[in-house]
Structure 1
Amino acid sequence: MSIWLAQHLAALRDACRRLAAAPLNSLLSLLVIGIALTLPTAGWLMLDNLRALSGDLPGVQQISIFLSLDAGKREIGEIESRLQAGQVGRWRFVAREEALRRLQAAEGMADIIASLPRNPLPDAFVVTPADSRPAELERLAKAFSGWPKVAHVQLDSAWVKRFDALLRLGRLIVVLLGVLFAGALVTITFNTIRLQILAQAAEIEVARLIGATDSYIQRPLHYFGILQGALGGLCAAVLVAVGFHLLTPLVTELAQLYGANFALQGLGALHLASLAAIGAVLGWLGAKISVLMHLRRFA
């Protein structure tokens, strides 16, 4: 076990030495890999933030339950109990008096409301479901409409379906971009390892002559690809973090204009680890393919 560990540590040190031997070339390669991973990562984060933002905007993906005008405290309490038991998500009760005050506060409505003989607005519940899928929203709206003393259930299902379709289209585009740029990352590592093999052809031939195994020769190159990919993933994380830092004040200001309290959510520790792991795997894959193809000439 100690011999195996020593061999891998030696290969890792050799890979670090190869990276440090040409700092400018290594830096440019890391930037290219980082940019390749930045675009799909930023796109995926933006889609997640867009879905979160839709839940914070007033009236978006909400179900309004309007009660009959003759609904009393007993019926209101019964509906509250049903909502609590069903665990449908967040909800709040809007009394008819509160709704009337809000309507009176609207510009140009005070005189109109004052001329009415009585309050025409019903009590209502505003539900923000935990599951915002269109099918689930429609199921809930249908269930709410069958409850006692419910006069009307309002859900803009057409808008929800359009929004969900746009998000699914966005995710598909991001996945396609991810596959495309993953291929680019593998190609970058493939060419880098090929150049390493060509530059050290004499060393590889001598190592073959003195009995070096294929694993011994290939191991530092594999580690080189893993290190390059992982560092490129971290470079992508830095680029995404900088971009989100610049966008956050503008997005927050725009959200406040629409009555939402929202801030962009950037990369977390799990995202950083995932980017480094994805870069490492793709770097290893490019190195593996390059080694298998170009070391045959020394066999």
Structure 2
Amino acid sequence: MKHWINQHLQVWRQLLSRIWRNKLSTLMIWCVIGIAICLPAVLYVIIDNLNQLAGQAKSEPQISVFMKLDADATALDEIRKKLKQHPGIARHQFVSKETAWQEMQENNPDVAASLKQNPLPDAFFLEPKDHAPAAIEQLQHEAEQWPGVGHVLADADWAKRLYALLALGKKAVLILSLLLGFALVAVIGNTIRLQIATQREEIEVAKLIGATNGFIRRPFLYAGIMYGLGGSGIALLCIYGIITIFNLSVAELAELYGSSFILALPGWQLCLGMTVCAVVLAWLGSYIAVNRALARLNPK
């Protein structure tokens, strides 16, 4: 066990020494990895903040439930009970047909004068808890089945458009992440391949004296891990800097609309996910490059 630990510690000491001797080239690789991870991460943070803003928007979707003209007081009481007990409704408001007729006479006296009687029904105006288009449509279809209900309208077109744009943005982030992830594997693989080429003679000598593939592969895999860790650190610094700069303008814009909205910085889950992805991709690029090099050194 002690021998195994010493082997790994020796590899890490040699790796850190090599990184220190080649500080500039290592920093360049870290920056490439950091930028490749930073771009989709920043877009994801912005879309996630917009998604939360959509859920807190003041222009909340409203469902209008119009009763039949012959609906009696019993039907109205039954609807009130349903609305009070319904888990998907945040609040509701009742407007009687008499109140609606009075407002119409005050606001549109010419139209009201041309009507012989009140054509307006009793109505309930509902505010759903969940603003997702699917939840609003489900609540609308449910309200249409209630007794005494004549017609139901859902003012959720803006929510559908917004959520469709956010969904499109998430797909764009996913595609960009896949493309940059592939590019990252290629970049790390090419970097490790160049390192292997400069140490080819050392590797050949090590093979002659009985070094295993695992022993030869180990320092290059550790180098990939270091590249991934350094690149994720650069990416996190870039994200925090970009979001902070964006917030200077976002705060001014929000103040014009009487809001205190600012872009939230990424949480620890996103930071951890970025670090893991960077390390895994860098390790994968190193693994592929080393295996290809070993295959050439050990032709069948």
In the superposition, the TM-score normalised over structure 2's length comes to 0.79
1:25, distance to aligned residue in structure 2 (A): 0.6
In 2, are the aligned partners of 1:189 and 1:286 still within 8 Å (CA)? yes
Q: CA deviation at 1:294?
A: 2.2
Query: Counterpart in 2 of 1:19?
Result: 19
Q: What letter corresponds to residue 281 of structure 1 in structure 2?
A: V
Go from structure 1 to structure 2 and tell me whether the alpha carbon gap of 1:144 and 1:7 turns closer, same or farther (over 3 Å shift).
farther
* Residues 232/55 of structure 1: CA separation in 2 closer, same or farther (3 Å cut): same
Partner of 1:142: 141
Check whether the contact 1:42–1:240 (CA below 8 A) recurs between aligned residues: yes
* Separation (CA, whole Å) in 2 of partners of 1:236 and 1:188: 16
2:57 counterpart of 1:57: yes
Q: Deviations over 1:76-112 (max 9, x none)?
A: 75144322xxx32x61345769xx9xxx9xxxxxx95
Deviation at 1:231, TM superposition (A): 1.7
- 1:12-91 correspondence runs (5 A): 12-60=12-60, 62-66=61-65, 74=77, 77-83=80-86, 87-88=87-88, 91=90
Residue 169 of structure 1 is matched in structure 2 by 168
1:123-146 Cα distance to aligned partner (Å, 9 max, x none): 63322316x1x3332111121344
Q: Offset of 1:58 from its aligned partner?
A: 1.9
Gap regions ≥5 residues in structure 1: 105-110
Q: Counterparts of 2:55 and 2:42 in 1: how far apart (Å)?
A: 20
Residue matched to 1:233: 232
The Cα RMSD (Å) is: 3.4
Structure 1 residues 94 and 158, CA gap change in structure 2 (3 angstroms): closer
What amino acid is aligned across from residue 47 of structure 1 in structure 2? I
- Over 3 Å counting, the alpha-carbon distance change for 1:56 and 1:201 in structure 2 is same
The Cα of 1:26 is off from its aligned counterpart by 0.6
Deviation at residue 207 of structure 1 after TM alignment? 1.8
Q: Residue deviations 1:39-78, cap 9 Å, x none?
A: 1111122221121111222224x23345669879955751
Percent identical residues:
35
Matched to 2:129, the amino acid is T
| Count of residue pairs the alignment pairs up | 281
Q: Does structure 1 residue 125 correspond to structure 2 residue 109? A: no
Report deviation, 1:258.
4.3
Report the CA distance shift for 1:112/1:165 in structure 2 as closer, same or farther (over 3 A): closer
Q: Is the 8 A contact 1:58 1:260 kept in 2?
A: no
The answer on whether the counterparts of 2:140 and 2:152 sit within 8 Å (CA) in structure 1 is: yes
3-state DSSP of counterpart to 1:129: coil
Q: How far did 1:241 drift?
A: 1.1
Distance 1:33 1:273 in 2: 16
| Runs (5+) with no aligned partner, structure 2 | 113-119
- Give 1 or 2 for the bigger CA radius of gyration: 2
Output one character per residue of 1:122-177: Cα deviation in whole Å (capped at 9) or x when no partner: 663322316x1x33321111213444576764423443333333222222221111
**What CA distance in whole angstroms lies between the structure 1 residues aligned with 2:258 and 2:127?**
17
